Amino acid sequence: MKDKKKWRKKVLAFALAMLTFTGIFFENSVMTQAENKEEKTENYIKVYYLLYDGQEENVFSNFMVKSPCKILEDGTIRSVINSNPEVYDYNANGITLDVDINRGKHWYGQVPITEECIYNEKEGYIDIPGKYLGKDLTVTVWQSRDSAFYTNLVPDELKPQKDRRGNISFYTFQDNFPSGTIPVLFEPKGCNIVTLHGDINTVKVGDIWNCNADTWYIADKYNADSYIWEDVAGCKEYDKGFSQGQIVSIKDCENPMFNNIGGAGPEGKNWMFMGCLSSVNNTFQGVPVITKMYIECIAKEGNTATFFVHAACKGPKGQKAQTIGGFFKASFSPPWIEVYKKPTTDKTTWIDGDKFQNGYEWAQWAISDNPAYDLSGAKYTLWSYETGEYFHECIITDANGYGWCYVPYTGKFMIKEVYNPKGYILDDQWHDITITENNATFYHDENVKYAQLRLHKSSETATDKSLAGAKYGVWNWRSTVGNGKPDYIITTDENGYGEVNDIPLWYYYIQEIEAPEGFGLDKTIYEANCTDAGTYPNVGVDLYSQEPLDFGKITLKKQSANPDCTEDNPVYSLKGAEYSIYSNPECTNYVDKMITDESGYAEKDGLQLGTYYVKESKAPQGYHLDETVYKVSLPTSSGELEYQVTSTEMPQLEQIKMLLEKIDKDTGEPIPTGQGSLKGAEFVFKFYKGEYPKDTNPETLGKTVDKTWIFATNEKGVIEFDESFLIRGDSFYIDDKGEPALPVGTLVITEKKAPEGYHINPITIIKNIRPEGFEDSEAYVTPEIAEDSISVKIIKVQDGTNVHIPGTVFRHTMPNGTTKDYATDSKGEVQLQGLRTGKHQIVELSPAEGYLPNTSVFEFEVTADNKVHALTKPIEDMGIAFAEEKNGDGTLTVKNKLAPFKLNIHKVNNKDKVLEGAEFTLYEDKDCSVEVDRQVSDKDGNLAFENIQIGREYYLKETKAPAGYKLPIHPDGSPVIYKIKVESDPIKNNFIVYVNDKAYDTNSDGAITIGGTKKDREVNLTVVNTVNGKLPNTGAYSTSWILAMGSILILAALKNKEKRIK
């Protein structure tokens, strides 16, 4: 067993590929744990027989069986793997054994235990240590396929069927394929479900065919030798079970029914999914090539069979390569024969010269888009040489000339067309055809039928003139008759007879294009139905034409000189134009007249030959009169008896110089306000040709605009109908002078973009255009469009009131950095107009007199959509408020507080002596508990309190007397307190101070006066002390009661001191 180990290592890799492929048959079914140490016979191990080529040492085939095993009392697992050891000796015949756990498992999951096992050559059994009971055990038997070993080794019910060369093949797995199941991963699906054309009974196990098949690797992603699953139709169904595999495309197989089967894939071939079977590594560059196919196993079911095939491979240069095998399922169809009809003819030239390479091209040209030819409905009958059996009308062709049918057997047949299709000549000859397993194809050339036109010409009246030389054009389509390019020409002989032969079946239109000398043209359009030849090989049609004698005819074609204006504009009509025919150039000898129809066509026939003069005498609606005189000679210089006059006429248009004018809404003039500009406003002009109700936008009626222009105004706010004002748009309508003009229609004008400093005007202007010359014509009146400027209104109000303050100066900083100062008017308002796009700033420069300045800075932005948006978010302390108006403007309200007063106090005694050092305190409550300010008189007796707020009550008290004086008190001893309140109305110039509820104004005099300026108001209060003793009160009251109270206090203090001493 050990002298073959080197060779076994060489093929050890085989387990990864092959057992992935077949080891799955016995998964979870090998052994069961013995319940006790008694012998059990219901357990099995796998015995895997590998047949290799004795010379190449490549695995060629394989099969696996379940071998019963016993569990001995000591736990040893015993299985007979050589049923006839006396006849066959493993060692003597070069067979080697391997024992593995998890054989074929990827990622090193396979565990070899051969060295722990013992093979008994005399008894033919192998013992495996009991510790491996319950494991996935496989005994691999390596055997040359040329040996007779299996004939005696394998039980009769398991013996493989011998192939036709006497070699053993992989035929059955006992409980598995074909009598049981196929490995789940390799269950045929997708690209491995195919159809074979042939007899299922002709394929047998052991068949070996030479072939030339291509292989390729397939995986999840591309590499040098790999496609991906999606490249082959149906192959992706295998990607869940395999990370990679191989695909095979069979070609040049000895059994042709197996060629090119599988799912459609790369290189335009069909491919099947397979896997590697042998242990040889493909060390060469590229992929292996299959040289032989071997049928290992077949499972038949009705008309289908599942195959296991094995393929021998070589490298691109004959190198040793892995072998490949796989399962596929085929449906068999019986032999069949198909017919391809091919139109042809023995004609190879066009009617007037060399045209086609061969009859196939001629026929193809004849039948193309021609309903007179139809390949469907041809019927064929088959007759068998071998059986003499007829298969009547067994094949019927379709519109492509294709038909087919099954036949019950292969062999030599004859085929004949028994019914011809429409437009084709019946081929009633028998043709030999052989039907094999590859079926048969009969290519049948079918001759097309022809048509013949025969023309018989005569004169309307008796004449001795010859009818020879008349030419008749033949056209395939009525719409092309008279275009000067007929498809065929018939020329008459002196008897008036002519013909054209061998033309395709068709419905033809015939008209004379050249009359014989002395005759007029026959303008009749003759029709010839040559579409149905019936059972005849060809079809002929006779035509009879009578030729008129010479008379002349004038035709007139009137057309618009400016179709851009008149086409699809129903107001302009070519109908009703009158053209008079005269016999002299002065147009005084009237002959007749012509009146045009809707298309502008008119004619006059039956004119004697001569010279005429044609002139328009009445123009149709919407056109100017054509003053041209047209000279007509009959016959023409080329001999024609018909002369066509072409009259081109100018339509009536409206010339417009100025399309639109913009004015400022506030001024009513084309002068911008503020920073605004009337230049650059963009307007969309949409023009609809035709007549519509007044003031109606045709778009609301579902009409499509004919032309659109976008114009921009100049600095004067004007748009002229000139390209210098055009931004973009369609071409202009141009009149006969080369100037822009408009035909009858409706012009719809809307503003698309406002100029700097203005809002878009949302109004749509509708102008009906009806040029002069039309009934109810109306001259174009240039519309004036008022522009509403973008503005911000500043309102100055007194804080806490609705009083507006005039005279406040604001500074406006514009987006370009320039500034401008504004003062509020008598209403306390400022209007900033014509504001440009960008960031703006407003700040108060100086308040009106009598008010405190508001120092808040307000910023806003004019956006591209011409709306004002605040950038500063006002808060309560800022004294400003901003409102965005619906039209996009804004209103800024700025509040000012009233300016405070200054309270001046002058301290003197009744001798008018100034008193220094007197301290006065100002309180906000009458209890004098909340101090506001404290001041002391200077050497001049003066002191002052700043920031005396308007409307607020203050309380003033002397809190420290000057040296030598007492604080003033009332008779009841309470301190003297002054209640002070000031009021201010700068607008009315009213200023009042209340002292102890008595009012004093600017006209008051005495001890309490109001002075200063309107901007800085002052209250002047003189406080006088009366001198009555050494310690006078500093107020105005007597101090005797204070002296008495002082004596009492002194006596009380002395008494208290005496008590403390005691």
Q: CA distances (Å), 827 to each of 793, 796, 799, 893, in order?
A: 12, 9, 16, 13
How far is residue 256 from each of residues 251, 252, 434, measured CA to CA in Å?
8, 7, 15
Stretch 991-1017: mean pLDDT:
89
Q: pTM surpassing 0.95?
A: no
* Cβ-count burial 276-294 (b if 16+ within 10 Å, e if not): bbbbbebeeeebbbbebbb
Q: Cα 200 from chain centroid?
A: 53
Mean pLDDT value of segment 253-279: 84
Predicted pLDDT at 30: 34
Q: What is the predicted pLDDT for the residue at 38?
A: 37
Sequence-separated (6 or more) residues with CB below 8 Å from residue 138: 19, 23, 30, 45, 46, 47, 48, 99, 100, 103, 104
The full DSSP string for 723-781 is GGGEEEESPPPB-TTS-BEE-SEEEEEEEEEPPTTB----PPEEEEEB-BTBTT-B---
Total Cβ atoms within 10 A of residue 558: 25
For every residue of 656-676, which 3-state class applies, written as one string? CCEEEEEEECCCCCCCCCCCC
For residue 861, the tally of other CB atoms under 10 A from its CB is 15
CA-to-CA separations, 406 to 261, 338, 378, 382, 679, in angstroms, rounded: 20, 9, 17, 11, 86
* Kind of pairing between the strands at 226-228 and 208-219: parallel
DSSP 465-501: ---TT-EEEEES-GGGTTSS--SEEEE--TTSEEEEE
CA distances from 4 to 123, 125, 502, 1014 (A): 22, 20, 86, 128
Q: 78 pLDDT band (50/70/90 cuts)?
A: very high
Which tokens go with 94? 């070069």
Kindly indicate the confidence band of residue 461, based on its pLDDT and cuts at 50, 70 and 90. low
User: For 138-194, what is each residue's pLDDT tens digit?
Assistant: 888 776 655 534 444 444 444 444 332 333 333 333 333 444 446 667 789 999 999
On whether the CB atoms of residues 853 and 847 are closer than 8 A, the answer is yes
| 561 touches 650 (CB < 8 A) | yes
DSSP states of 557-581 as a string?
EEEES-HHHHTT-TTS--TT-EEEE
Distance of CA 379 to CAs 32, 450, 814, Å?
Answer: 69, 21, 95
Per-residue model confidence (pLDDT) at position 639:
66
Give the C-alpha separation, 710 to 749, whole Å: 10
Q: Phi/psi at 619 (nearest 5 deg)?
A: -85, 150
d(CA 1033, CA 1013): 35
Q: Residue 275 in contact with residue 236, Cβ under 8 Å? A: no
Tokens linked to 594: 């012509």
HEC string of 578-647 equals EEEEECCCCCCCEEEEEECCCCCEEEEEEECCEEEEEEEEECCCCECCCCCEEEEEECCCCCCCEEEEEE
pLDDT at 979 over 90: yes
Distance CA 277, CA 322 (A): 7
Q: List the 953-960 sheet strands across, edge first.
A: 931-936, 919-923, 953-960, 977-985, 990-995, 998-1001
Q: Is the peptide bond before 874 cis (omega within 30 degrees of 0)?
A: no
Burial of 2 (0-12, 13-18, 19+ CB in 10 A): exposed
Q: Does the pLDDT value for residue 66 go beyond 90?
A: no
Residue-level pLDDT at 15: 32
Per-residue pLDDT at 290: 85
Phi, psi of 151 (to 5 degrees): -55, -40
* Residue 13 token pair: 């890799």
502 neighbors 450 (Cβ within 8 angstroms): yes
Q: Indicate if the pLDDT at residue 450 is higher than 50.
A: yes
What is the structure's pLDDT at 1041?
34
How many Å apart are CA 798 and CA 538, to the nearest integer?
Answer: 112
The answer to whether the CB of 746 falls within 8 A of the CB of 688 is yes
Confidence of residue 601 (pLDDT cuts 50, 70, 90): very high
d(Cα 171, Cα 299) in Å, to the nearest integer? Answer: 10
Task: Give percent of the chain above pLDDT 90.
Answer: 44
Provide mean pLDDT across the span 828-842.
93
In this prediction, residues 194-218 reach a mean pLDDT of 81
Q: What is the pLDDT of residue 992?
A: 93
Top-confidence residue, 444 or 45: 444
Higher pLDDT, 827 or 52: 827
User: Which positions ≥6 away from 87 have C-beta within 8 Å?
Assistant: 152
* Rounded CA separation 174/205 (Å): 16
Residue 127, pLDDT > 60, answer: yes
Handedness of CA 364, 369, 374, 376 (dihedral sign): positive
Which tokens belong to 277?
């079977």
Nearest residue to 894 (alpha-carbon basis) of 963, 815, 804:
804
For residue 702, what are the contacts with CB-CB under 8 A and spacing of at least 6?
none
Angle at 591 between CA 588 and CA 595, to 5 degrees: 105
pLDDT at 255: 81
Residue type, 280: V
H, E, C per residue of 400-445: CCEEEEECCCCEEEEEEEEECCCCECCCCCCEEEEEECCEEEEEEE
Which segment of 247-256, 637-646, 688-697, 710-719 scores lowest on mean pLDDT? 637-646
What distance in Å separates the CA atoms of residue 213 and residue 259, rounded to the nearest whole number? 9
SS3 assignment, position 913:
coil
* Mean pLDDT (the chain, rounded): 81
- The label of the residue with tokens 């009392």 reads 73
Answer yes or no: is pLDDT of 6 > 80.
no
CA distance 758 to 670: 13
Gap between the Cα atoms of 361 and 369, Å rounded: 14
Across 478-483, average pLDDT: 87
Confidence of residue 467 (pLDDT cuts 50, 70, 90): confident
pLDDT for res 616: 93
Give the contacts of 245 (CB within 8 A, at least 6 positions apart).
217, 218, 219, 238, 273, 274, 275
- Give which of 326, 14, 311 is closest to 177, Cα–Cα: 326
- Identify the structural domains of the chain with CATH numbers, from first to last: 5-158 (no CATH), 184-333 (no CATH), 337-447 (2.60.40.10), 450-547 (2.60.40.10), 552-649 (2.60.40.10), 654-787 (2.60.40.10), 792-896 (2.60.40.10), 901-982+1003-1043 (2.60.40.10)
Contact 842, 807 (CB under 8 A): no
Alpha-carbon distance 162 to 164, whole Å?
Answer: 7
CB 723 within 8 A of CB 749: no
Distance CA 214, CA 165 (A): 26
Q: pLDDT digit string (tens) for 83-105? A: 667 766 666 555 778 898 887 56
Dump pLDDT digits (tens) for 377-423.
999 999 999 888 899 999 999 999 999 988 877 789 999 999 999 99
Query: Under a CB-based contact definition with an 8 Å cutoff, are residues 470 and 442 in contact?
Result: no
Using pLDDT thresholds of 50, 70 and 90, give the confidence band for residue 64: low
- In tens, the pLDDT along 889-942 reads 999 999 999 999 999 999 998 888 999 999 999 999 999 999 999 999 999 999
Residue 734 makes CB contacts below 8 A (sequence gap 6+) with: 562, 564, 740, 741
Percentage of the chain lying above the pLDDT 70 cut: 82
Give the pLDDT score at 207. Answer: 77
Residue 143 three-state SS: strand
Higher pLDDT, 167 or 372: 372
| Burial state string for 600-637 with b = 16 or more CB within 10 A and e = fewer than 16 | bbbebeebeeeebbbbbeebbbbbeebeeebebebeee
Please state, in angstroms and rounded to a whole number, the distance separating the CA atoms of residues 465 and 472: 18
